[in-house]
Structure 1
């Protein structure tokens, strides 16, 4: 039996009470890498926001990381998000704190205990993304590619079973983007499922995976003819 980390059935994805995608049905298996593509406004970000419970699922059924989206009370949302890693295009790093302090903020917010344990986890994720020496630096002193690696490190802190990435290479040049894709490949090979929204079709050709396409209010799946 395959283990699904995401399963939507006949779901309607809404943004500000307007349906942007209808009859959405798909599953995402543990350790799978899937792209999410479509024009601006086609529903990519709204779908991702529904998966991490920033938008409610009002029609259809959905399960993410073992949580029922249709019956998810506000108190359970933080527990769902601890099982997910979320990577934003615009970084959303705290500008008044060092890299390590940014990561420590997340660990404190998600209930980690023990100073040594937290410092060890910060060292582990920075090493994982190839940034062992930057913990004491401020985010603005890093390049765009380095800041994105910090964002990925932040997303990995709680050892997520699913990484949701919204245009993670959108602001990066091709060489830096390739490094981020190689890093995603390593994370995926280590057992984390990845759903990545992108506009960059060159990435799809260079790193081929299953593709979900938001088009005309529907979600098309390359795995289904």
Structure 2
């Protein structure tokens, strides 16, 4: 048995000091794929933010990539995030820097030393997401789908154990959303666990996986026995 990359036990998920989910218990194993669904305001984003330590864990216990959330000192948060990949709906790319410089910024921030080593890693992840020739472009010169691929490349820089994706296809048309899902499938098959929040139930039908549903303050698990 492998140790789960995400584990919550009777956890309370809070937003602005208000409990949005209570009694949350689930595990995500290495290499597993799960969807996170629910209505707007049901707690999906708050749950993801708790997992990457942007929001504090309320009651209960939790661990992500070997880091205990309940007693995680603020100084250890960057180390946790180096084990994670985070994909946002709104890209959050630095508009005044090239694609390559956006990726170098992350490598510098997470302690990579050696220019040649950083350049090699940037080219590796851009190639992995099918964008080997866009390193010198500014983000606004790319399509929405290409920008999301850059965001995914950024998330892969530190070879994460788990990818947390918050509505990664929310701003994309259906054809491009399918392309992004195919990319996620490749990443998942290579061994990275993925927890993906989405409203797109067509993707759930086309790419069936375990589903975690936020509803009425609870987290319901399609895999529960």
* C-alpha separation in 2, matches of 1:58 and 1:73: 15
TM-score normalised to the size of structure 1? 0.99
Aligned partner of residue 28 in structure 2, secondary structure: strand
The equivalent of 1:130 in structure 2 is 130
TM-score normalised to the size of structure 2? 0.99
The equivalent of 1:164 in structure 2 is 164
1:87-166 equivalences in 2 (<5 Å): 87-166=87-166
* C-alpha separation in 1, matches of 2:76 and 2:199: 32
The equivalent of 1:13 in structure 2 is 13
The equivalent of 1:218 in structure 2 is 218
* C-alpha separation in 2, matches of 1:135 and 1:68: 36
* C-alpha separation in 2, matches of 1:25 and 1:121: 36
The equivalent of 1:193 in structure 2 is 193
Residues 133-192 of structure 1, C-alpha deviation per residue, up to 9 Å, x if partnerless? 000000000000000000000000000000000000000001000000000000000000
Residue 2 of structure 1 and its aligned partner are, at CA, apart by: 3.2
The equivalent of 1:2 in structure 2 is 2
Residue 20 of structure 1 and its aligned partner are, at CA, apart by: 0.1
1:206 aligns with 2:203: no
Aligned partner of residue 70 in structure 2, secondary structure: helix
The equivalent of 2:73 in structure 1 is 73
1:52 aligns with 2:49: no
Q: Which runs of 4+ in 1 moved over 4 A?
A: none
Residue 77 of structure 1 and its aligned partner are, at CA, apart by: 0.2
Residue 3 of structure 1 and its aligned partner are, at CA, apart by: 2.5
Residue 212 of structure 1 and its aligned partner are, at CA, apart by: 0.1
Residues 185-213 of structure 1, C-alpha deviation per residue, up to 9 Å, x if partnerless? 00000000000000000000000000000
* C-alpha separation in 2, matches of 1:187 and 1:97: 26
Over aligned residue pairs, what C-alpha RMSD do you find? Answer: 0.5
* C-alpha separation in 1, matches of 2:58 and 2:39: 24
Task: Give 5+ residue unaligned stretches, structure 1.
Answer: none
* C-alpha separation in 2, matches of 1:33 and 1:160: 14
The number of aligned residues is 225
Aligned partner of residue 22 in structure 1, secondary structure: strand
